Amino acid sequence: MSEQYDVIVLGSGPGGYVSAIRCAQLGLKTAIVERELLGGICLNWGCIPTKALLRSGEMFHQMKHAKDYGLAAENITADLDAVVKRSRGVASQLNKGVTHLMKKNKIAVHMGTGKLVAPGKLEVVGEKGTETLEAKHIIIATGARARDLPKAKADGERIWTYRHAMTPKEMPSKLLVIGSGAIGIEFASFYNDMGADVTVVEMLNRIVPVEDADVSTFLEKALTKQGMKIMTSANIGTIEAAKSGVKVAIKDKGGKEETTEFSHVIVAIGIVPNVENIGLEDLGIEPDKRFHIKVDGYGRTNVKGVWAIGDCVEGPWLAHKASHEGVTAAEAIAKEMGNKDVHPHPLDRNNIPGCTYCHPQIASVGMTEAKAKEAGFEVKVGNFPFIGNGKAIALGEPEGFIKTVFDAKTGELLGAHMIGAEVTELIQGYVVGKTLETTEAELMNTVFPHPTLSEMMHESTLAAYGRALHI
Ligand SMILES: Cc1cc2nc3c(=O)[nH]c(=O)nc-3n(C[C@H](O)[C@H](O)[C@H](O)COP(=O)(O)OP(=O)(O)OC[C@H]3O[C@@H](n4cnc5c(N)ncnc54)[C@H](O)[C@@H]3O)c2cc1C
């Protein structure tokens, strides 16, 4: 007889494992199915190991600038193998942490590849052979994988996806990064810090194109100053990988095509959802326009009892969004099963922060100035530079700014856009504010500690109303 659960979660990334924990907390008998490593892409191949690499790159960079702080550090060298080993160690520590959390919450872990074979029925082919599991509800959290460039499929030798870039066999001497979203820019930043000669090619007219245009302009200048070559409105022509390198034809924004040889290429042009071979078609589960699984605000698909969350549904494709959706779906399931104490809310996509951990860091939430204007808002915009902040100067990090966008009529905070040191930690202040539907009045009346970088969040709000104190 097949094993019976209240909920089975397919995939154990930050969407799946968090959802399973919340289901278990709500008293639901829960199982999780994973074909590779508990923790999914985020813990093993994404957010966490990249931050470990970036930390090494950043320290290396800082050590080279020790003199600026009155210190001496001579003969500084980087050992790429040791840097990668540390990053893999961090990932492995967190993978073990998720194993512990599954045990602690009494969640049954089935290692293997899962496929829906009927509503409420999942077949798992794995370490125990073929098992059939049954549940009242199934949550699909199968995530996504790197999108390949059709004309240059990643080979792990010269042409890399993020997985290869995270565990390099050798240090690239001349690196081309195709795509300037968060993943592309983070790898460009890491390898540039480690000493590679880095070129970034972006098809659109600015890098980090989802961010506010002012942030893109500032970042392009900062990365160029750090020695990177940035090409926007540029197109990749032929790519020829050989044993010694990759010859890539690039058409620049003026239409001039030139072929350059790189030692390695990282393809970072987005992701594709893992929606194949999991039984969606047979069950009639509908995709959305971009071939992700179509869901409502709680994660319900069009088939009763089947839910989907995370990177396999609509974006933004971020770990915290996946986890939040996981909690919402778990609570909506508990509610359907009669729990009267849970009150799930549909996800508000306007309040999901986005962070990029290059240096200077980038963080944002809500509408860009352009998007707010397009949406018909009359806006008040505040801008405060890092150079006007005592803590930033003391840290030796005077580069960056904080921009805020308010609705001129109501004072509602519509968006916040930051670039500079530690902004990925600061953004949460604005996210809390936005979730509470804050206006300029509460932000102005909030006391910010001194000396902190957070004072710039206050100053940016004041600047939007012509009241900034330190510029
Ligand atoms: C290099 C990189 C850096 C990133 N950095 C950040 C960051 O800093 N911040 C951030 O928020 N996001 C970041 N992301 C994105 C983040 O990793 C994803 O948004 C997040 O992992 C999505 O979570 P998920 O649970 O939907 O899916 P995933 O983490 O992709 O997990 C899905 C899991 O499902 C398993 N699976 C798939 N199909 C099956 C099947 N049929 N049977 C069994 N198991 C299956 C997979 O093996 C996988 O473990 C980064 C991504 C990359 C690639």
Domains and CATH numbers, the chain: 3-145+272-336 (3.50.50.60), 159-269 (3.50.50.60), 360-464 (3.30.390.30)
Testing ligand 1's pocket by substitution, the residue of 18, 47, 53 carrying the most ligand atoms inside 8 A of its CB is 47
Is residue 245 pLDDT above 70, yes or no? yes
Q: Measure 132 CA to ligand 1 centroid, in angstroms.
A: 25
Cα–Cα distance for residue pair 27/109, rounded to 1 Å: 17
Q: Do strands 306-308 and 229-231 pair parallel, antiparallel, or not at all (unpaired)?
A: unpaired
Q: Determine whether the annotation assigns residue 183 to a binding site.
A: yes
Does ligand 1 have an atom closer than 6 angstroms to the CB of 14? yes
Per DSSP, the three-state class of 234 is coil
Is residue 2 pLDDT above 80, yes or no? no
Q: What pLDDT, on the 0 to 100 scale, is given for residue 119?
A: 87
Does ligand 1 have an atom closer than 6 angstroms to the CB of 114? yes
φ, ψ of residue 43 to 5 degrees: the values are: -80, -30
Does ligand 1 have an atom closer than 6 angstroms to the CB of 322? yes
- Residue that the structure tokens 């915290």 belong to: 320
Mean confidence (pLDDT) of the chain: 97
Q: What pLDDT, on the 0 to 100 scale, is given for residue 3?
A: 82
Q: What pLDDT, on the 0 to 100 scale, is given for residue 255?
A: 96
Q: What tokens were used for 172?
A: 């690239």
Give the nearest ligand 1 atom to 354 CA: 11
As a whole number, mean pLDDT of residues 85-100 equals 98
Does ligand 1 have an atom closer than 6 angstroms to the CB of 181? no
CA geometry: angle at 379 spanning 374 and 382, to 5°? 125
Give the nearest ligand 1 atom to 146 CA: 53
Q: What pTM was estimated for this model as a whole?
A: 0.97
Kindly indicate the confidence band of residue 297, based on its pLDDT and cuts at 50, 70 and 90.
Answer: very high
Q: Measure 8 CA to ligand 1 centroid, in angstroms.
A: 18
Is residue 243 pLDDT above 90, yes or no? no
Give the nearest ligand 1 atom to 40 CA: 49
Does ligand 1 have an atom closer than 6 angstroms to the CB of 274? yes
Q: Determine whether the annotation assigns residue 322 to a binding site.
A: no
Tell me what percent of the chain is helix, strand and coil, each rounded to the nearest 5: 35, 25, 40
Q: Measure 316 CA to ligand 1 centroid, in angstroms.
A: 12
Q: What tokens were used for 435?
A: 């979730």
Q: What tokens were used for 286?
A: 């509908």
Share of the chain above pLDDT 90, in %: 96
pLDDT digits (tens, 9 = 90+) for 204-232: 999 999 999 999 999 999 999 999 999 99
pLDDT digits (tens, 9 = 90+) for 146-199: 999 998 899 999 999 999 999 999 999 999 999 999 999 999 999 999 999 999
Does ligand 1 have an atom closer than 6 angstroms to the CB of 40? yes
DSSP H or E run through 324: helix 319-336
Q: Whose CA is nearest to atom 1 of ligand 1?
A: 46
Cα–Cα distance for residue pair 39/274, rounded to 1 Å: 16
Give the nearest ligand 1 atom to 165 CA: 1
Q: What tokens were used for 113?
A: 């590849």
Q: How far is CA 453 from the centre of its chain?
A: 23
Q: What tokens were used for 283?
A: 């069950």
Q: What pLDDT, on the 0 to 100 scale, is given for residue 1?
A: 61
Q: Whose CA is nearest to atom 34 of ligand 1?
A: 11
Is residue 46 pLDDT above 80, yes or no? yes
